[in-house]
């Protein structure tokens, strides 16, 4: 009997007494896109030992959702695997989403060779995309995958500089997209100790492209006026779907930060120096230096210098005095002295700065910023009769994102806050058994995107985090983390 079959048999044996108001919503094994015995073992270990069986059922459905449903193509190769991961209900692969969808499986990769190859396959696929169109945020599968290429209904009238490639789904310049490729690379290297890909020419070229794009996007608006490296316009009635000044975006002054014309929500920035994405970049650039200092010292040195420049500029230009919260991080700045004080639910966010290892979660400036974010001073904080959390302009007023609730837990040391937020996450599912993109603050049954793998993955990661760091909150006595 295989490890997986044993796990399934064991799972069936404990069905009696496993009472939950949520349905078991995973596809049956033959219909799962990818099966990992080690992931099944972890699911069993966690669910059997959780106090709250509703929470256990949500974890059981959500954490494997990326593997179960979104591995659209996996080219297994000993030396150069590739994998195409869709977001869920949108048949395209986002650099950011694919990283976040799969990253919580990385710690288990050495226990499953096929899973390890899948993750490396995502890295190589991302590297190819970055080389092909570094300003794009989402892509079609490569030709050899023989997957459908449906038209993106939102981008038919887009005009971009430079023009899109033949595999570009959407060409919104989002700094965090390129950084997400760096993050998955580092996370894989750190957890598996596999350094074979560090000298792969495709991967190295992609890293070099990332650094060159970041340096170009440090230029002030008037420094590149008339010769812009990137422009974007879209025929739309939604202002956050296009850029002002005929596609140039809001003007900025060079201060060492990197422009990002769109946020992780895919909405245009108010001011292009997006602080969470720059903070994220600073961290992952330092990781690139750590990874390749001995094998590619010139690239490594460039990454290290860029990392420090960005970090220094954030502390010089993005800490703003607020009349209620003293000194806090701005969400966006322009280098001329203007700032946008808010936070968005999408990651990276200001709330997530400790999660991305930019700052300690007990740092005074972060704590003040966090207090601001979780208050009605934040224009995208929504508080209803029962639910409260951070939303996004992307889904409109009143819609809370479960991802923001997960991040509240992942950056908290307060047991009561964690328990209360877990309860909100449970109820936000509206008995569907999954997380959603967003839900209305007075009616969780009114939600967007029933199949959004990133949110499911982050929920699973959140449960694993609590089980490891604060097991007394959700696990039975004597639980041992697998």
Q: What is the pLDDT of residues 321-352, one digit of tens each?
A: 999 999 999 999 999 999 999 999 999 999 99
The pLDDT value given to residue 18: 59
Q: Which domains does the chain have, with CATH numbers?
A: 1-62+380-482 (no CATH), 70-379 (1.50.10.10)
Q: Is beta strand 138-139 parallel, antiparallel or unpaired with respect to 82-85?
A: unpaired
Instruction: Examine the pLDDT at 7 and tell me if it is beyond 60.
Output: no
DSSP state of 92: S
Cα–Cα distance, 215 to 60 (Å, whole number):
43
Instruction: Examine the pLDDT at 2 and tell me if it is beyond 90.
Output: no
Is residue 322 within 8 A of residue 293, CB to CB? The reply is: no
Instruction: Examine the pLDDT at 6 and tell me if it is beyond 80.
Output: no
> 158: cis peptide before it, omega within 30°?
no
Average pLDDT over the chain, rounded to whole?
Answer: 95
Phi then psi for 128, rounded to 5 degrees? -60, -40
Q: Which token pair is 176?
A: 């965090």
β-pair partners for 232: 160
Cα–Cα distance, 350 to 371 (Å, whole number):
11
Instruction: Examine the pLDDT at 260 and tell me if it is beyond 50.
Output: yes
β-pair partners for 333: 273, 339
Closest CA to 93 of 123, 117, 65: 123
DSSP state of 88: B
**Full-model pTM:** 0.95
The torsion defined by the Cα of 206, 97, 334 and 305, in degrees rounded to 10, comes to -40
Cα–Cα distance, 321 to 325 (Å, whole number):
8
Instruction: Examine the pLDDT at 8 and tell me if it is beyond 50.
Output: no
Determine the number of helices (DSSP H) and then strands (DSSP E) in the chain: 16, 17
- What percent of the chain lies above the pLDDT cut of 70? 96
DSSP state of 110: G
Write the CB contacts of 389 (distance below 8 Å, at least 6 apart in sequence): 345, 381, 382, 400, 401, 402, 404, 405, 408, 424, 441
> pLDDT (tens digit, 9 = 90+) per residue, 110-130?
999 999 999 999 999 999 999
Phi then psi for 443, rounded to 5 degrees? -160, 95
Residue-by-residue DSSP string for 299-362: HHHHHHHHHHHHHHHHHHHSEEEETTTEEEE-SEE-SSS-EE----SSSS-STTTTTTTSS-TT
Q: Is beta strand 332-333 parallel, antiparallel or unpaired with respect to 273-274?
A: antiparallel
DSSP state of 475: B
The pLDDT value given to residue 481: 84
> pLDDT (tens digit, 9 = 90+) per residue, 185-224?
999 999 999 999 999 999 999 999 999 999 999 999 999 9
Cα–Cα distance, 380 to 27 (Å, whole number):
35
- In this prediction, residues 220-237 reach a mean pLDDT of 97
Report the 10 Å Cβ neighbour count for 442: 13
> pLDDT (tens digit, 9 = 90+) per residue, 9-50?
444 434 434 578 999 999 998 999 999 999 999 999 999 999
Cα–Cα distance, 460 to 445 (Å, whole number):
21
Instruction: Examine the pLDDT at 387 and tell me if it is beyond 50.
Output: yes
- In this prediction, residues 424-453 reach a mean pLDDT of 97
Edge-first strand listing for the sheet containing 399-400? 399-400, 438-440, 443-448
Instruction: Examine the pLDDT at 3 and tell me if it is beyond 90.
Output: no
């Amino acid at each position: 009997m295989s490890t997986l079959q044993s796990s399934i048999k064991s799972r069936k044996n404990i069905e009696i007494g496993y009472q939950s108001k949520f349905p078991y919503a995973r596809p049956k094994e033959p219909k799962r896109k990818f099966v990992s015995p080690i992931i099944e073992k972890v699911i069993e270990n966690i669910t059997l030992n959780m106090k709250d069986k509703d929470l256990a059922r949500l974890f059981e459905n959500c954490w494997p959702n990326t593997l179960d449903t979104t591995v659209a193509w996996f080219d297994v190769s000993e030396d150069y695997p590739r994998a195409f991961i869709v977001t869920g209900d949108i048949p395209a692969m986002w650099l950011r989403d694919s990283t976040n969808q799969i990253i919580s499986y990385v710690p288990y990769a050495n226990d499953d060779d096929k899973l390890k190859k899948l993750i490396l396959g995502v890295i190589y696929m991302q590297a190819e995309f970055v080389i092909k169109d570094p300003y794009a945020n989402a892509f079609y599968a490569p030709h050899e995958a023989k997957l459908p290429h449906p038209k993106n209904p939102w981008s038919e009238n887009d005009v971009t500089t430079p023009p899109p490639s033949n595999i570009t789904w959407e060409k919104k310049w989002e700094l965090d997209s390129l950084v997400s490729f760096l993050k998955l690379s580092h996370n894989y290297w750190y957890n598996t100790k596999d350094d074979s890909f560090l000298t792969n020419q495709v991967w190295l070229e992609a890293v070099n492209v990332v650094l060159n794009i970041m340096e170009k996007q440090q230029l002030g608006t008037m420094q590149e006026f008339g010769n812009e490296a990137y422009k974007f316009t879209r025929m739309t009635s939604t202002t956050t779907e296009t850029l002002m000044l005929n596609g140039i975006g809001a003007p900025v002054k060079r201060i060492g930060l990197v422009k990002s014309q769109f946020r992780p929500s895919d909405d245009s920035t108010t001011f292009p120096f997006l602080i969470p994405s720059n903070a994220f970049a600073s961290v992952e650039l330092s990781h690139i230096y750590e990874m390749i200092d001995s094998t590619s010292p010139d690239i490594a040195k460039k990454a290290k210098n860029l990392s420090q420049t960005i970090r220094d500029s954030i502390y010089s230009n993005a800490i703003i005095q607020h009349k209620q919260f003293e000194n806090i991080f701005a969400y966006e700045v322009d280098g001329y002295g203007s700032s946008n004080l808010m936070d968005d639910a999408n990651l990276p966010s200001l709330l997530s700065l400790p999660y991305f290892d930019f700052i300690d979660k007990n740092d005074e400036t972060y704590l003040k910023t966090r207090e601001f974010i979780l208050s009605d001073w934040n224009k995208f904080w929504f508080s209803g009769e029962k639910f409260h959390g951070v939303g996004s302009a992307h889904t409109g007023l009143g819609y809370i994102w479960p991802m923001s609730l997960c991040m509240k837990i992942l950056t908290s040391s307060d047991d009561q806050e964690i328990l209360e937020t877990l309860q909100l996450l449970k109820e936000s599912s509206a008995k569907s058994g999954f997380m959603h993109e967003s839900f209305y603050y007075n009616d969780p049954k009114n939600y967007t995107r029933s199949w959004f793998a990133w949110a499911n993955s982050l929920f699973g990661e959140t449960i694993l985090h609590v089980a490891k760091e604060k097991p007394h909150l959700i696990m039975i006595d004597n639980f041992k983390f697998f």
